[in-house]
Structure 1
Amino acid sequence: MTELLIGLVITIAVGYYIVKGYKAAGVLLTAGVSLLIIAGLLGHSVLPAKVVSTGNLFTDSLEYVKYMLQYRGGGLGLQIMLLCGFASYMTHIGANNVVVKQFSKPLSFIKSPYVLLVAAYIVACLMSLAVSSATGLGVLLMATLFPMMTAMGISRPAAAAVCASPAAIILSPTSGDVVVAAEKAGLPLHVFAVETVLPVSISAIIVMAVAAFFWNKYLDKKNNTPMERVDISEMEVKAPAYYSILPFMPIIGVFLFNGETIPGLKIDIYTIVVLSITIGAIVDFLTNRLNGKVTLENLESCYAGMGDAFKGVVMLLVAAGVFAQGLMSVGAIDNLLALADKAGAGGVALMLLLTALTVAAAIATGSGNAPFYAFVELAPQLAGKLGLSPAFLIIPMLQASNLGRTISPVSGVIVATSGMAKISPFDVVKRTVVPVVCGLITVILGTVVLVPMYA
């Protein structure tokens, strides 16, 4: 329990200093390195198995910072930088204004921005079928839908929350955690994903959409949040109408190439964004009558956007990753697992306990997958002892891990979307917390009603 208390105290301290206005990246990085050093002093392994030790616990903690810079800077960080650069480029050449101008006319009959918010949320949830990464999807939506949402009158925190939320409920039957969950539940993938999980997921999404409508409306009114609805008649649009397709090139590319829609051709999200920037530059070059100098000058906005993304978003992701590893290395997560294993509760009580522990771990670490993969190993054993169906325990845990990540101020998707929106992670969490709680309650009730408790 000592390790759990250490993790809890440092997590509370992190929240306190971030709320007080300290730079989040510095706070998380300091807390993460401190936890790694404490883990070493307590005799725990500082580094995960895939990272080679330096032979000293202090330099091992710095070695993990280096690893995260390489791993997130070159992987997810690169994706974020590319998409932020693309978004800056689209704004600079006027493509985003063209989109707003064109879409505002058919949408003008919808007077409430909150109806538009719900519509955008549903579209974003459907996008999760094509993009499995919560952070990757959030960044993609921030680069494409966010400018249009804010221009149509949705407040920045509400629009960022929409971009951060679609992966809170799992829809894709082929995502990695669903595959693992089906295996541990002892059910065929199509039975588990489509017949068991999908009805619960759809119910939760509907409830969360309704909750998002009323909760965002309440917060905007309470906080007098600025609504940035653009007066279309006064909007200056210099770019031609055909530029309206350019901001959506990454989304189109995901559906066309990030799979095998076109047989034999599969392109990952990084190349899709590079391709989108290239197409944008070619169109801009032709529009400017083959003026290469102007085209290359416009592209500078893309590079500047990438640099801003590294400073404002990627370093936060690195720091959050170090903090999450610190919590796991010090043994806080193992202590939570021990609590679950010792629980001598009935079926529903055990399900609620495992769900609560999964949510707590997801909020603390900012990860959806890590807590689920850790806790799901317990479910078949605990279910066997009580004669329960493993699926009855696993389905709420599966959804809870993703829901918990959506209200964690240190999760990748919250850090990335808030950074791109230039608002605090806590402003986004404040917008997601009530819909997430409503979604979690729906998942629990849906499991009790739709999933047999006993094997």
Structure 2
Amino acid sequence: MTELLIGLVITIAVGYYIVKGYNAAGVLLTAGVSLLIIAGLLGHSVLPAKVASTGNLLTDSLEYVKYMLQNRGGGLGLQIMLLCGFASYMTYIGANNVVVKQFSKPLSFIKSPYALLVAAYIVACLMSLAVSSATGLGVLLMATLFPMMTAMGISRPAAAAVCASPAAIILSPTSGDVVVAAEKSGLPLHVFAVETVLPVSICAIIVMAVAAFFWNKYLDKRDNTPMERVDISEMEVNAPGYYSILPFMPIIGVFLFNGETIPGLKLDIYTIVIVSIALGAVVDFLTNRLDGKATLSNLESCYAGMGDAFKGVVMLLVAAGVFAQGLMTVGTIDNLIALADKAGAGGFALMLLLTALTVAAAIATGSGNAPFYAFVELAPQLAGKLGLSPAFLIIPMLQASNLGRTISPVSGVIVATSGMAKISPFDVVKRTFVPVICGLATVIIGTFVLVPMYV
């Protein structure tokens, strides 16, 4: 219980100092390293099994910072830098302005920016079928849809929240979480994913879209949030009309090549973005009448965007990862699991308890996978003791882990989207909070109605 209290106190302190305006990356790094040191003093292993110890408690704590820089800086961090560089390049050569100009005509009959927000959210949710990473999808949407949404009158916090939210509800029947959940539920994958989870997911997405419409409209009015709607008649567009396809090349590439759509050709998101940048440069080179000097000069905006992304987004992700590791290492998650194991509750009460604990762990750590994988091991055991269907407990936990991540100010997707939008993570969380609560309530009700409680 001591470890749980330590985790809660430090988590509250982190929130307090970030709200007070302290540098978020610095606060998270300080808290994370402190938790790792405390964990070592309490006798816990500071480093995960795959990271070799340095032989000293203090240097082990810093060794994990190095590991996160290598892991996130070279993996997810590289993806973020590439996409941010691509977005900067598209803005610099005028492609984003062309998109806004062309799309404004067919969308001009939609007077409410909040109706556009709902449409963008539905499109983003469908894209989660192609991009499994919540942070990767959020960054991709920020690089492609975000400039268009803000230009059409959607406020920056609302647009960033749309980009951060599509992976809050799992739609893909082949995601790793769903495969594990089906196995622990004792059901065939197609029965669990398509016949059981999918109807609940669709209902939750509809409810969240409606909630996002009214909640963002209310917050924009209450806070007098500035809108950036562009007067299309006064917009200066110097690039040719065919540039409008360039900003969407990463999205097109994901659907074409992030699988076996074209036999024998499969590209990951990193290569897709690099190909998109290269194609953009080729188009720019031809448009500029083979002026290589101008083309290479324009590419400088891409490199500058990548550097800004490392400074503003990637370091925050590294810091959030260290903080999450500190919370898990000190024993906060293990203590939450112990609370669930000791709960002598009935079927529905137990489901609510496990769901609440999963959400709490996801908010604290910023991870959707770690809390679910930790708690899902308990579900079959607890279900067996009470004669419950494991699926009745597991489905809300599966969705709750992803929903909780969407309202965590230290989660990768919130940090990345807020960093790219140049706003506080708390501004994004404020926008996602009510839709997430509505989505969670829908998941719980849907599970109660559609999934048998007892075996």
In the superposition, the TM-score normalised over structure 1's length comes to 1.00
CA-CA distance at 1:87 after TM superposition: 0.0
- Corresponding position of 1:212: 212
Deviation at 1:376, TM superposition (A): 0.1
CA deviation after TM superposition for structure 1 residue 449, in Å: 0.2
In 2, the alpha carbon distance for the partners of 1:415 and 1:22 equals 15
User: How far off is 1:264 after superposition?
Assistant: 1.0
Per-residue CA deviations over 1:156-200 (Å, capped at 9, x if unaligned) read 000000000000000000000000000000000000000000000
1: CA distance between counterparts of 2:134 and 2:128? Answer: 8
How far, CA to CA, are the matches of 2:233 and 2:135 in structure 1?
35
Secondary structure at the counterpart of residue 154 of structure 1:
coil
Cα displacement (A) at 1:380? 0.2
Q: Give 1:235 deviation, angstroms.
A: 0.1
Distance 1:40 1:219 in 2: 44
C-alpha displacement of 1:265: 0.7
Q: Deviations over 1:31-90 (max 9, x none)?
A: 000000000000001011111111111000000000000000000000000000000000
Shift, 1:344, TM fit: 0.6
Q: TM-score, normalised by structure 2?
A: 1.00
Cα distance in structure 1, aligned partners of 2:118 and 2:146: 13
What SS class does the counterpart of residue 192 from structure 2 fall into? helix
Question: Following the alignment from structure 2 to structure 1, what is the Cα–Cα distance between the partners of residues 30 and 335?
Answer: 23
Q: Deviations for 1:78-108, whole angstroms, at most 9, x for unmatched residues?
A: 0000000000000000000000000000000
C-alpha distance in 1 between matches for 2:273 and 2:232: 29
Q: Aligned partners of 1:432 and 1:98: how far apart in 2?
A: 30
- Whole-Å separation in 1 of the counterparts to 2:382 and 2:48: 27
Deviation at 1:18, TM superposition (A): 0.1
Q: Distance in 2 between matches of 1:385 and 1:48?
A: 32
Q: Measure, in 2, the Cα distance between the counterparts of 1:149 and 1:332.
A: 39
Does residue 362 of structure 1 match 2:362?
yes
1:407 CA displacement: 0.0
CA distance in 1: counterparts of 2:238 and 2:354, whole angstroms: 56
Q: Which residue of 1 aligns with 2:142?
A: 142
TM-fit CA distance, 1:17 = 0.1
1:85-100 aligned at under 5 Å gives the runs 85-100=85-100
1-side partners of 2:138 and 2:328: how far apart? 25
How many angstroms apart in 1 are the aligned matches of 2:56 and 2:383? Answer: 42
| Distance in 2, Cα, partners of 1:137 & 1:192 | 24
* Deviations 1:344-373, CA, capped at 9 Å, x for gaps: 100000000000000000000000000000
| Local SS of the residue matching 1:102 | helix
User: Secondary structure of the residue that 1:55 maps to in structure 2?
Assistant: coil
C-alpha displacement at 1:248, in angstroms? 0.1
| Distance in 2 of aligned mates of 1:332 and 1:228 | 43
SS of 1:206's partner is helix
Residue segments in structure 1 that go unaligned for 5+ positions in a row = none
Q: Which residue is equivalent to 2:182?
A: 182
Give secondary structure in 2 for the equivalent of 1:60: helix
| Mapped partners of 2:178, 2:226: distance in 1 | 40
Deviations 1:105-152 (A, max 9, x none): 000000000000000000000000000000000000000000000000
The runs of at least 4 consecutive aligned structure 1 residues that moved more than 6 Å come to none
SS in 2 for 1:78: helix
- What secondary structure is seen at the aligned counterpart in 2 of 1:265? coil
Shift of residue 290, structure 1, vs aligned partner = 0.2
- For the residue of structure 2 that corresponds to 1:171, the secondary structure is coil
Q: Distance in 2 between matches of 1:351 and 1:446?
A: 13
* Structure 1 residue 16 displacement after superposition: 0.1
Structure 2, unaligned runs of 5 or more = none
CA distances 1:409-438 after superposition (whole Å, capped 9, x unpaired): 000000000000000000000000000000
Aligned residue pairs, count: 455
C-alpha separation in 2, matches of 1:227 and 1:207:
25
- Find the aligned partners of 2:264 and 2:97 in 1 and give their Cα distance: 36
* C-alpha deviation, 1:281, in angstroms: 0.1
- Tell me the equivalent position of 1:238: 238
Q: Once the two structures are superposed, what CA deviation does each residue of 1:373-404 show, in whole Å capped at 9, x if it has no partner?
A: 00000000000000000000000000000000
Return the alpha-carbon distance in structure 1 between the equivalents of residues 22 and 293 of structure 2.
42
Partner of 1:421: 421
- TM-superposed CA distance for 1:201, in Å, is 0.1
Which residue is equivalent to 2:316? 316
1:451 Cα shift?
Answer: 0.2
Post-superposition CA distance 1:249-293 (Å, at most 9, x none): 000000000000001110000000000000000000000000000
Shift of 1:22: 0.2
Q: Distance in 1 between matches of 2:264 and 2:166?
A: 29
CA distance in 1, matches of 2:399, 2:434: 16
What whole-Å deviation, never above 9, does each CA across 1:233-259 have from its counterpart, x for those lacking one?
000000000000000000000000000
Q: Distance in 1 between matches of 2:53 and 2:131?
A: 34
Report SS of the residue matched to 1:6. Answer: helix
- Distance of 1:57 and 1:188 partners within structure 2: 45
Matched residues in 2 for 1:245 and 1:432: separation? 30
Q: 1:14-34: per-residue Cα shift (whole Å, max 9, x none)?
A: 000000000000000000000
**2: CA distance, partners of 1:382 / 1:77:** 39
What's the CA shift for 1:10?
0.1
Q: Describe the SS at the equivalent of 1:262.
A: coil
Q: For 2:283 and 2:47, locate their aligned partners in 1 and report how far apart those are by CA, in whole Å.
A: 48
Partner of 1:319, secondary structure, is: helix
